[in-house]
Amino acid sequence: MELFDVYPLYPIEPVKALGSKLWDKNGTEYLDLYGGHAVISIGHSHPKYVERLSGQLGQIGFYSNAVENSLQKELALKMGQISGYYDYSLFLCSTGAEANENALKLASFHTGRKKIVAVENAFHGRTSGAVATTHNPKIIAPFNADHEVEFIAMNDLDALELAIDDEVAGFIVEGIQGVAGLYTPSENFLKKAQELCEAHEAVFILDEVQSGAGRTGKFFAHQHMDIRPDIITLAKGMGNGFPVASVFISPKFEPWHGMLGTTFGGNHLACAAALTVLEVISEEQLMQNAKNMGSYAIERLVAIPQVKEVRGKGLMIGAEFDFPIADLRKSLLFDHKIFTGSAANKNTLRLLPSLSVTMEELDQLFEALKVELKNVTSP
């Protein structure tokens, strides 16, 4: 049997990793400034993470959600403490799309309505409702296309006012749009969304799948602003590579047995991974590091003549060049051994390193950029 060929692959196979470093099977070292798509939060193979997960596996790796699991309770408690959402409850699942799917489902259960308002260029995942709220017709199959979704332009207050009415179950927006190319909703836009959702009894959902877990210097990106969503979703950095995701749910939602469910969500290994991530983020002050290293990287990027604009916050950064960056990204990878990311905006280079990245590691990128951009003049 062959693999179903849906991923364009680089001819590189990492076989070992530590912190922000990767090694391929020939022993070549790489610097990882992409974190496998914002997933690596506390650093690859963090010793505490390895020890905790190995120990947990030696005890019990999995049992279904039909029995008590005190690790889940401990995780909910710690999530409340680190995020400040003490009075919210936590639903555990395994992927970002699944978290958003459940968020949309909760909005619909709660309101008895179907329609969702989403934002242009959004990415919310590939399952049924999540992909329907994703603004990319290429990945929406006819089966997914029957959901009632209206897209509005980011930061368009008038469009928001027209779209959110008594027919709407919920409004979903990313803390910072990642896949699109690092676009942050304005505080006015989010405040207006919250106000309209309240007025029309619709549900305000923040997708922090990529921007959460401390990446922007606060636990959630929206916490740089004065808003309080009804539902928040989190995945990627939450498990540092172990598939675990969650939905933060305001006390106004009433659960009933069977309302939501999943086989793998919140299993013992997943909880051990997520608990270790929270502990290491606190012990090593990684949100502070994300803030400091993010400011440093942004300052250096802004000073590059070919960089038109730098967007994002903390260690969720997009640098928009005045030319398409596909070749630059390849040179960074193959000639300088540095992993970076791309975005739907073809001129935007994406940086999503581990929250423990150092200044010396970031400097490697700036040295490489100096070499690569030496002979590139602005068009």
Catalytic positions, written as ranges: 123, 207, 236
Q: What is the DSSP secondary-structure string of 175-217? A: SSBTTTTSBPPPHHHHHHHHHHHHHTT-EEEEE-TTTTTTTTS
Asked if 174 interacts with ligand PLP (CB under 6 A), we say yes
Q: Are 121 and 137 in contact (CB under 8 A)?
A: no
Distance CA 347, CA 349 (A): 7
Only segment of 51-59, 90-98, 149-157, 315-323 that touches ligand PLP (CB under 6 A): 90-98
Asked if 178 interacts with ligand PLP (CB under 6 A), we say yes
Residues 227-286 that bind ligand PLP (CB under 6 A): 235
Only segment of 118-126, 192-200, 294-302, 311-319 that touches ligand PLP (CB under 6 A): 118-126
Asked if 124 interacts with ligand PLP (CB under 6 A), we say yes
Asked if 34 interacts with ligand PLP (CB under 6 A), we say no
Asked if 123 interacts with ligand PLP (CB under 6 A), we say yes
Asked if 207 interacts with ligand PLP (CB under 6 A), we say yes
Order of all β-strands in the sheet with 14-18:
14-18, 21-24, 29-32, 338-339
Asked if 350 interacts with ligand PLP (CB under 6 A), we say no
Q: Which two tokens stand for residue 232?
A: 């928040």
Q: Where are the beta strands (DSSP E) in the chain?
A: 14-18, 21-24, 29-32, 89-93, 115-119, 149-152, 168-174, 203-207, 231-234, 245-249, 307-313, 316-321, 338-339, 348-351
Q: Which two tokens stand for residue 246?
A: 């969650």
Shortest Å distance, C-beta 152 to ligand PLP: 17
Shortest Å distance, C-beta 84 to ligand PLP: 21
Q: Are 128 and 144 in contact (CB under 8 A)?
A: yes
Q: Which amino acid is at 19?
A: G
Q: What residue number has its CB nearest to ligand PLP? A: 96
Asked if 289 interacts with ligand PLP (CB under 6 A), we say no
DSSP category for residue 284:
T
Smaller CB distance to ligand PLP: residue 343 or 368?
343
Contact pick of 35, 43, 125, 341 for ligand PLP (by CB under 6 A): 125
Asked if 356 interacts with ligand PLP (CB under 6 A), we say no
Asked if 132 interacts with ligand PLP (CB under 6 A), we say no
**End-to-end C-alpha distance for the chain, whole angstroms:** 48
Shortest Å distance, C-beta 174 to ligand PLP: 5
Distance CA 37, CA 339 (A): 10
Which parts of this chain interact with ligand PLP (CB under 6 A)?
95-97, 100, 123-125, 174, 178-179, 207, 209-210, 235
